[in-house]
Structures are given as C-alpha cells and as structure tokens.
Amino acid sequence: MQIKNSAVSMIIDASDQKELEEIKLQFLGRSGKLTLTLKEITKIPAEKRAIVGQLANEVKRVIEESIESKLSSLISYFSSQRKQNIDVTAPGIKPGIGHLHPMTQVLHDVIDIFKGIGFQVADGPEIETDYYNFTALNMPPNAPSRDTQATLYLDTKNSNAQPGQILLRTQTSNMQVRTMEKIKPPVRVIVPGKVYRVDDVDASHGFEFWQLEGFCIDKNVRLTDLFGTIDYVLKKVYGEKTKIKFATTNFGFVEPGVDTYMECTVCKGKGCNFCKQSGWSEIMPAGMVHPNVLKAAGYDSQKVSGFAFCIGLSRLVTLRYQMDDLRLLTNPDLRILEQF
Amino acid sequence: MIVPLSWLKEYVDITLTPKELGEKLTEVGLGCEKIIKTKDDVIFELEITPNRPDCLSIIGVAREIAAIENKKIKFPQLPNILKTQKPLPLIVKTDSKINPRFTGIIISGIKVGESPKWLKEKLEKMNQRPINNIVDITNYVMLELGNPIHAFDYDKIIGNIMTVSQTKGGEKFESVDGIAYRLPKDAVVISDKEKIIDLCGIKGGKNSGTYKETKTIFIRVPVEIPNLIRKSSQALGLRSDASSIFERGVNAGGTIDALKRTTDLVLELAGGKIASNPYDLKEINFKPWKLKLRKDRLNQILGINIPLKKTIDILESLNLSPVHLPGEQRRHLDDARKGGRIECTIPTYRNDLKIEEDLIEEVARIYGYNNFPKTMPKGVIPTVQVPYFKDYALDEKVKNILKASEFSEIYTYSLIGDKDLTENNIDPEKILRVDNPVSRDFEYLRPTLKINLLKAFIQNKSNFEKINLFELGKVYSGKSLDEAKEIYYLSGITNNKNFFEVKGLLEKIFEDLGIKENSTKYIEILNDGIFFEINYSELIKDFNPNKTFKPLPKYPPIVEDLSIITEGDVKTSDLISEIKNQSPLVVDVSLLDQFENSRTFHIVYQDKNKNLTGEEVAKIREKILKSLQSKFHVKLKE
C-alpha cells in the first residue's frame, strides 16, 4: 500500500515524460520497488501469498494506469504548449490556384439547371445572315421592330455577299430556326453566346455582350410552362426568395410576348443607377414562338407550339454578384478576377 | 410617350393610384419607365413597343386604361363637317401606291394668333413648344388621337395644285423649322406648280407653313406608307412625332375623325369658315376587319381555362366587339371546335391584331400575366443530340486544369482596332471588318486571342508581379466573308511559369483529353513571359474520353538512374525514345536532372510476367549505352 501511494503521488507530480519513465522504472522495472517486493513473496507464508499476490498485482495495475493517464495528459499539455508557440490567427497560406471568370461560373450553373429539365446546349455562328437573325424570326426588312436592335454589318468586299446581307448577330435567337429546321419536335435547347449591337457603352449597355437563348417546342406547350420554367430557373440561380414579375411586350418572333423583370439585386429594389431607379431589372424577354417562326422552321403551328426566351447573360452575372457595371465583365484586371 | 394623368382623366375614370397604374400599364405592355409628380399633375413616361403606334396618343393610352379598369371611354361626339356652297379651288393629284389616303379641307378667314392658356399648358406638359393657334391645334389633335396633321397656307400653294410624288434624289427642301435638306431618292413629297412644299409624313415645308399673316389654310390628314417614311427618315437622320407614327402604321380609319376634330377646334379658336368640301382620296375603304379566336385554342396556348364570360368581357373592354359562336356539339368533332369561337371586329387603330395569336395575347395581358399559375413543360425530354451541340463540360474540364495551374480566366471583346492589328504586325486588309463600327477601336474581328491577352498582361503589371491569364474564346479567320470561319482558341500568357511548366501544363491538358499531341509548337517565348495559343476547336475533335485500366504489376520494377555526358546538340526527347526503344522491358524513362553537358535519366525496368534479375537489367543497360554511344556519341558519366 505504501508503495502504491508513494508511486501515485510521484506520478501526479511528474512534470514531463522522462520523469514518468524514471518512475516507471523505479517501481515496475527489473529492480523496481514493486518487482523486488514481489520477489520476496516466497518469504510470506503460503496461505497469505494469494492475497499478497493479488494486492501486488492490483498495485501494479494502478501504477500502470496512473502512468498511462498522466502520459496522455502530458502529451496533450505539450501539444497545446506547442500550438501556443505559433500565432494561429495569422492568415492561412492558400494554394496557388487561379480563378474562373464569373461568366463561366454562372454559365456552367445555368447550363446545369437547364440540363436538369431536359435542355441540351448548342452553339452557333456570330457571323450571321440577315435571314436567320431577322427575317426568319418574323422580322422582315423594314420592320420597325428591327429598330430596337441596331446592327453591325460586315464588310462584304471581295466576297459574294451583298452589303447588308451579313451581320454580327444581334441576338442568340438566330439559332431558333437554324436548329429547328434540322430536327423535329420535341425540342429543348439553350444557346449561350456573344451578341453585338450598335449601342453606346454605359453601366448597363455595351456593343458586345452575352445572351442565353432557350426554346422548347412540343405538342401542347403552354404559356404557363414558360412562366414556370423562367420562375424555376431564376429561383435556382438567385434563390427561392427572388422576386420576379412578368409583363407584356412585343418581339417579332413571339406572340404572346413576355418580358421578365427581377428585383434589382444591386439596390434590393430601392432604385439605383444600374436599374435606372426602377428597382427592377429587365432580364429575360420571352414569349410563345410566333406561328411564322414555326412555319419558317417547317413546323405546323396548329400541331405544335412552343416558348422561347432570351436571358441577358451578362446582366444575369452582374446581378448575381451585385456588380454595378457590365464593363467589369470584360475588364481583365486581376483585382476583379481574384474575387471569384 | 409622355402622358399626363389629368389629360387621361378627360377620357376615362381612373381608380388606381399612379403607382398601381404604372405597374399595371407595364404589365399590359406599356412599359412605365418613370412617374413624375408635378405641382398639379402626374406625368407618366411610357415606352411604346413598335407594334402599338395607337398608344402614341393620349386616347390610345386611355383605351388601355379603360380595359384595365373595365370602364368605358368618354369621348365627345364630333360634329359633322358642314358642306360649303362656294368651295375654293384646289386640285389634288395623288397616287395611292405612295399615299394610300389623302384627307383634307380648306378653311378660310382664320385669324392666326396665340393659343388659349389651356391649349398651351397641355402642349407644354407634353414637352411641346406652343407656336400659334393653328400649329398648336394640329399638334394637339395628333397627340390626342394619334393621326398626324399638317396645315398649309392655302395662298402659298402656287397654281392651286398639290401633287404627291416621289423624289429623284438631290432636291432641295427647307423644313418648317428652317433647316435645309437634300432629299434622298424616293422620298414622298407634295409639290405645287413650282416647288416642293411638304416632305410627307416627316416635316412640312417652310415655304407653305402657317404664320401670322396666314388667312386661309388647307388641313391635310394623310395615311403614309410606313417603309417609305422609314427610309427617308433614316436617310435624312430626321425623325418627328409624325414620322414615328407613320413608320409604325397610322390609324388609317381615323383620318376623318382627326379632320373633324381639327376643323372644329380651328373654327372655335381661330374663327373662319369651311371653304371646301372634305377631300378623301383613297382606293380602298379602311374598315374594321374580322378576326376569330377559338376558345379551345385559347385555353391550349395559355394553359389555363379563362371562363368564356371573362374572355368576352376582356375583348369587349378592348373594344373588339366579340361575338361568341358556340361550338358544334357532334361527338366526333375535334377538341379545337368544341368551345366554339369568338368573332372579333378589329378597329382600324389596332393594326397589330392580325392573327389568332394576337387575340390570345390580348386576353392574356388584360387577364394579367402575373395572375397565371406556373407549370413545367409536360412532354417527353428529347433524346436525340441537338444540332450545333456543344460540350461545355469539356470546356469546364480544360478550364479547371488551367485554374489549378494558377491561371485566371478573362473574357475580352471580339472586336478590336486597326492599331491593335498593325502593332502586332497583322495586315488589317486580311481581317474581317465591320462596315459601321461603333468606333475605330472596335472595327475588326480578332484573328487571335494574343492581342487582348497581351493588353491584359500589361494592364495587370502595375498591380501584380505574378500574372497568369487565359482565355477560351472565338477568333475569326478568312480574308473575306466567303471564307469566314469562327474558331475557338485557347490561349494564355504568364510571367510566372517557365517554358517547361507551360509545356507540362499543355501536356497535362492533352493527356486529360486523351489527345496525343506535341505541345511545344503552341508555345511562344516572349521577352517577359510565355504565351501559348491552341486551336481548341481543332484539338477537341480528337477528344477521347475512353480510359482503359491497366492491372497493377505483380512483380516489382527495378529502377536505376543513368548519367551521361553528351557532346554537341543532342535532344533529350531523342535520347528518351532511343532508351525506350532498346527493350519492351523499359517501361518508363524520364529526365531526372540536367547540368551543363550531363543528363541523368531515371529508368524503370519491369517485366509483367516475372521478377527481373540483375543480369537481365545489366544486359539491357549495356544495350542502351551501346546504342546511345553509337548514335549520339554520349559517354557514361564516371
């Protein structure tokens, strides 16, 4: 018993691992106190040996356990000591990786969302004919609706094209008839890409920007499907609480025509320069595909119907990150890119 | 279009607040951009879409509000124009091909002067400058009813003749506001015996306008051909309120009412008397037309069943005189006919309503887009690969490798300037060009991504020491449009990686795409960095996603390093392939180290069928050395 008490008290007082090792040797080692005690067990009368033996083993167990627990507490003590020697509040060292452009990040998110509802992704020409960009979309030459899309025309010198015939597409809608004339319904397609307009450059306009066209043609596609699809996609991108409203508008290639407004994320609906103080951002013209467009694609408008929409992708990106200027997207400043 | 609330209220009772009205107008298609509260009024600024020239008038907007509020329009009965016994002479020669309708009248004995206060105030609210009572009346009636009107000084029409014709081009014309123009070819004009007195549908002539001394006027309310007005207006860079209306399509059935209204006001405010019978030259009668709407078709396109009564009410509120013709009840008829059809009579001011879908929109927009439920398309998901398919997942894969290698992505303009080209020794003559660029800095379509990457690189130098940038975007090739091609390039620039790091990065991309390709040829060493450019469209044609698992070797490899000394120009790639060629048991060779003329190769020997012995390896090593010595004159390093 004496041995046990003195051992335990020494163990508790031990201040490091080395000391503990010495204590262990002192008691449990080959010439340790307990070992020696046990060796003398033969001197004890046989009838008491069992009890003494049991006692000795008990003492051995207690000493071992005490050493174990002291050891682990010492280890954790020392490791915490070690932690105190470095300033863990200093910033971490980040791995050297680059940044994907916010446009790419949003585009891939949007593509994923549309893939989830059965849309495939297509890509089409930016250098386009007047036919696919306008005429096939029920916007014949001299249609006043063309006025809203001032067009960049390509120089036709040394070519067989007539001046005014080849242009830089003003809308990704150029892919509607191009795609539809090659396949039969059902069709569900999105087309992201660059478009061009003659426009003054300001915070919310540019001469070169991104759109994402989408269309869905099938038997019995309804206006409510258009509303539902837009609502689903915008809420996936911006969150369930996103405020969306629809309004009537006119584009040659849709009837009925729909415009989509989303509460401005820059000012949270209060009104700012980006949303022209309206609190809403026009983001997505859409509508039911005009019978003349279906006809141009070779479809029978009495048998199939469809909707089309065109997301202002550049605007979608800026709204997502509360960027107040479209020009930030084409500015290659790493101080901007590193934020994404 | 500017619309004062006070003026609207003359024609329709409004119960909505200005804010509610603005929101509702936007919903039905008259985008309300601003609501301005003034001392005594509320001014709405509406964006009118090109299909609704009727809403470029107060009455047109009031009609929309009447439909929203389900109220009737209040408009005073217009008095009929009295016949005159002694008409003044005026011969009108016109051609309905260039001037479909020519309505007019002569009023004599008028007194030109200042307009009354109410009229001046109305015009001022519309941002119009009052001029004199006659001009103000014509402007007022145009704003009110949407039919442009022009008043000529009758006494200045030489020879009492008005001839409508088209210009040959180059004719001189001075507009009523004193600006001289050279007219383009095919502009529609009115001439008297001597000169052009009117540029139809756009501006009146200075030589025949209404001034203080004017005693007799001819009032003309025309219908013009939209395309002709549009072309002349564009060619001259001259737009007026009138031309905006004409080029979108004026209310062809409204000229008589506009003439009545104008005449009535002239007689009231300027005195005088009617001095001719009304002129109304036209070849066709501009009458309302019929348009049918199948009720079942309406339900099918909209996705909801708007009750028949509600549908009729909406069409009625739009003044489309709906008449329901019940569907036939016989059982075998197709669905589209069961709900019957609604026959509408379209007033001439709604020339945007031409097909059934237009009526569907009318019902939907007044019902309110925001009152519709939302559904998802029900049909089957297409399984055939769409034409023009693009695999964005592949782009993402490539971009992620670049990102992991410290590169940041940029998006730049496709349009560049001629200076950008010449500075990079590219002949602008051979580059696709825009005819009407927004500025000279954005005139050409880029033939490479290098120009913008270099600019981006320089731009970032002031803030960053280490710069790694890339872009995956289109370049445009072809000397002329006949050969024009759009090709995706993948290009990058870095001052933070050496040649071998860039080479390794490209090798990694190729490897991940399953493409066997030499990356060296894509890399260019610049003075202060490394640039690479790959024809990405071409490259990914060889994309091979297939990977085959190779079982792990059962027997351990023997690995050794071989140091050699070379003389002269010996390519590492040649040495590696020579080593590999010596035995199929050499499974991998890599360059471990290189210093001056010595190179150390790391060689892995392995037999997949058994344990290799030292003797076997020694034989191969011997063979390697021999062949390297004989082919490249290398020596084993001591």
Q: Are B5 and B65 in contact (CB under 8 A)?
A: no
Across the interface, which of B248, B390, B486 has its CB nearest the CB of A121? B390
Let me know if residue A97 belongs to a domain: no
Determine the pLDDT at residue B400: 96
Let me know if residue A93 belongs to a domain: no
Tell whether B386 lies on the interface with A, counting CB pairs under 8 A: yes
Let me know if residue A119 belongs to a domain: yes
- Residue numbers in A near B20 (CB within 8 A): none
Co-location of A312 and A177 in the same domain: yes
Q: In the predicted model, is pLDDT for residue A245 greater than 60? A: yes
Co-location of A79 and A106 in the same domain: no
Determine the pLDDT at residue B143: 97
Q: Nearest CA to CA, how far is A265 from chain B (Å)?
A: 18
Co-location of A264 and A126 in the same domain: yes
CATH code where residue A271 lies: 3.30.930.10
**Stronger pLDDT, B303 or A88, i.e. the higher one:** B303
Question: Which segment of A13-17, A125-129, B71-75 scores lowest on mean pLDDT?
Answer: A13-17
Determine the pLDDT at residue A1: 63
Co-location of A203 and A67 in the same domain: no
Q: Nearest CA to CA, how far is A210 from chain B (Å)?
A: 11
Determine the pLDDT at residue B328: 66
Across the interface, which of A158, A232, A334 has its CB nearest the CB of B376? A232
Where do the domains of chain B lie, and which CATH numbers do they carry? 2-69 (3.30.56.10), 91-282 (3.50.40.10), 291-371 (3.30.56.10), 392-542 (3.30.930.10), 558-636 (3.30.70.380)
Last residue of a domain, one of A27, A50, A84: A84
Q: How many CB pairs under 8 A join A and B?
A: 279
Mean of pLDDT values over A211-215: 96
In A223-301, the DSSP E strands lie at: 244-248, 254-263, 280-282, 286-289
Let me know if residue A228 belongs to a domain: yes
Tell whether B326 lies on the interface with A, counting CB pairs under 8 A: no
Return the structure tokens found at B415: 């349009």
Let me know if residue A94 belongs to a domain: no
Across the interface, which of B51, B373, B382 has its CB nearest the CB of A187? B382
CA distances from B137 to A139, B113, B199 (A): 36, 12, 20
Return the structure tokens found at B296: 């079942």
Tell whether A147 lies on the interface with B, counting CB pairs under 8 A: yes
Q: In the predicted model, is pLDDT for residue A275 greater than 80? A: no
The low-confidence residues of chain B, meaning pLDDT below 70, are 328-338
**b/e per residue A182-199 (b: at least 16 CB within 10 A):** ebebbbbbbbbbbbbbbe
Co-location of A80 and A107 in the same domain: no
Let me know if residue A95 belongs to a domain: no
Within the 259-288 window of chain A, which residues sit less than 8 Å (CB to CB) from chain B?
Answer: 259, 276-278, 288
Q: What is the ipTM of this complex?
A: 0.88
Last residue of a domain, one of A57, A84, A111: A84
Determine the pLDDT at residue A83: 67
Within the 442-471 window of chain B, which residues sit less than 8 Å (CB to CB) from chain A?
Answer: 442, 445, 452, 455-456, 459-460, 463-464, 467-469
Indicate yes or no: CB of B482 within 8 angstroms of CB of A183. Answer: no
Co-location of A110 and A78 in the same domain: no
**Single-letter code of the amino acid located at B445:** L
Let me know if residue A89 belongs to a domain: no
> How many domains are contained in chain A?
2
Tell whether A333 lies on the interface with B, counting CB pairs under 8 A: yes
Across the interface, which of B373, B434, B459 has its CB nearest the CB of A224? B373
- Residue numbers in B near A221 (CB within 8 A): 377, 379
Tell whether A336 lies on the interface with B, counting CB pairs under 8 A: no
Position of tokens 């107060």?
B58
Let me know if residue A8 belongs to a domain: yes
Determine the pLDDT at residue B337: 57
- Residue numbers in A near B355 (CB within 8 A): 255, 291
- Residue numbers in A near B374 (CB within 8 A): 224, 227-228, 231-232
d(CA B287, CA B285): 6
Mean of pLDDT values over A250-279: 86
Determine the pLDDT at residue A171: 95
d(CA A330, CA B413): 7
Mean of pLDDT values over A103-114: 96
Return the structure tokens found at A155: 């120089």
Mean of pLDDT values over A199-203: 84
Tell whether B237 lies on the interface with A, counting CB pairs under 8 A: no
Co-location of A147 and A295 in the same domain: yes
Co-location of A148 and A207 in the same domain: yes
Determine the pLDDT at residue B336: 47
Cα atoms found within 13 Å of the Cα of residue A194, Cβ hemisphere only:
22
Co-location of A77 and A112 in the same domain: no
- Residue numbers in A near B400 (CB within 8 A): 100
The boundaries of the domain holding residue A48 are: 2-84
Tell whether A250 lies on the interface with B, counting CB pairs under 8 A: yes
What are the backbone dihedrals phi and psi of residue B390, each rounded to the nearest 5 degrees, phi first?
-130, 135
Of B513, B531, B514, B511, give the one whose Cα is nearest residue B522: B531
Tell whether A240 lies on the interface with B, counting CB pairs under 8 A: no
- Residue numbers in A near B452 (CB within 8 A): 332
Last residue of a domain, one of A49, A84, A119: A84
Mean of pLDDT values over A53-78: 82
As a whole-number percent, the residues of chain A with pLDDT over 90 amount to: 52
Indicate yes or no: CB of B409 within 8 angstroms of CB of A155. Answer: no
d(CA B154, CA B160): 8
